[in-house]
Amino acid sequence: MRIRNLLLGGAATALAMTAVTVAEAADPPKDANGVPCVDGKLDGALQCIPNAVAKGTPERPYREAGVSDPRLHPSRRLGSGFQSTAKTLVYAAVPGSVLVFDRGGDFNSKYKFVKRIVFEDAPAPVGPESIAAMMANPTTNMIYISTRGSLYAMDLLTEKVVWKKRYEEGTCCERGAVTPDGSTLVVGSDLKNFHYVLDATTGTIKGRIPTPMSMFNHNMNLSADGKIDFAAPNGITMTIADVETMKPIKTITFSDHVRVFVINHDATKVYANLNNLLGFEIADVKTGKVVKRIEAPGETWKAKWADPNNRFYGHGAPHHGIAMLPDESEIWIPDSINDQVLVFDNTGEWPVLNMNKSFKSNGQPNGWITFGLDGKLAYLASGEVVDVKTHKIITELKDEYGRYFDSEKMLEMTFDRNGRLIRTVNQFSNGIPQAVQARLAVDGNSSLASN
């Protein structure tokens, strides 16, 4: 057998030598290094392409290699002012953790659950503290979570808690807001009669804003420039204060217990939910007086609300939420009595209910409404995502187990490719000066936009 293999090997060698002799006899072209291209053709760079035609010909079309790094691909450009892979995410706070969803992606991955960030590891018998608020700021690149007991600051890149403060026992914490420069947090005490003014980087107390007429602080708001603080109690009297001096300026007394409220772009008007009202009252900040009461048609809710056998989620009110589009053209409120969201046109002297734009919810709309960064999307506390233009529900957010969830603390935020926060919404869905200016300019009322 060994002798046979040797014979076969010798035959193969002889055949190979014969092939070389034949090829050399054909005088093949040589490549850039002077090596003959025996069984192929040379391309434009004088590289031998075996068993193929030269590139750049009709038989072998050619183009330069593409970019493999998706961060540099031109189709990933998102627009002026954004990095090539800017990402928009939705953060929803629930007890003990924050759920993150991807707002972008293709049809199948839009609003896909990304991850759960646990910030409070509570013992099982105790459980996590209830969530009161969530706010964020690009300057510190942190997200702040108020619980009834603590205030957490979490770095958005590392997703680690930077600091946790409890302050005086039983006084922390409620709704809060960050000043535009990112330096200061104004946060309501836990149902007490003052607001904390805090260093946004360290959580150190700078001072307190007393609100003696507004006991049991609950909801709050800041003017767009961060200079005026609005403190709403679990009561009827709201306190308005100067943030820099930390002194109250005036109060506004509403006709019933104040719930969620929004302010317009220049903080001259307050639009407030109240107990026992499907609608809202409008107050003039300059005079400190309520100037208008807006009600949904009485036949749609009053008898149902008066019936003690009916139970509605709403913190003692027919609704617990109000949101103003960034350009102030519409005001939305959840109607938990009729499982719908009511849309009011706000382009005239006073808001007017538009039932053609109002829409049914998939369940009882039970609270807060937050508009997205561009005003094109709305996030309901029940997890529903709504297209603002069509007033249609386009999806419902679900956690990693496919479960629906409720959260009145949701933020839509855009990050650059390095994971730093670029923009974030205001959790209160107030009017935004630039958006109002743009709308009024289109409407031919640009002179009003600076008022």
40 — pLDDT class (breaks 50, 70, 90): confident
Identify the pLDDT of residue 56: 67
Q: Rounded to an integer, what distance in angstroms lies between the CA atom of residue 397 and that of residue 381? A: 10
Question: In this predicted model, which residue has the larger pLDDT, 64 or 5?
Answer: 64
pLDDT of 54 strictly over 70 = no
Indicate the burial class of 430 (C-beta count within 10 angstroms; 0-12, 13-18, 19 or more). buried
Predicted pLDDT at 84? 52
Checking if the pLDDT of 53 tops 70, the result is no
User: Which pLDDT score, from 0 to 100, does residue 28 have?
Assistant: 76
Is the pLDDT at 364 greater than 70? The verdict is no
pTM of the model: 0.81
**Spatial separation of the C-alpha atoms in residues 384 and 365, rounded to whole Å:** 9
The pair of structure tokens assigned to 301 is: 């809710």
**Mean residue pLDDT across the chain:** 86
Give pLDDT, residue 31: 77
Query: How many whole angstroms separate alpha carbon 334 and alpha carbon 339?
Result: 8
Cβ(203)–Cβ(153) below 8 Å: yes
Structure tokens at 331: 């005001």
The total number of residues shown for the chain amounts to 451
Predicted confidence at residue 365, as pLDDT, reads 66
For residue 145, what pLDDT is reported? Answer: 97
Least confident range from 68-82, 107-121, 123-137, 174-188: namely 68-82
What per-residue confidence (pLDDT) applies to 82? 42
Res. 61 pLDDT band, cuts 50 70 90? confident
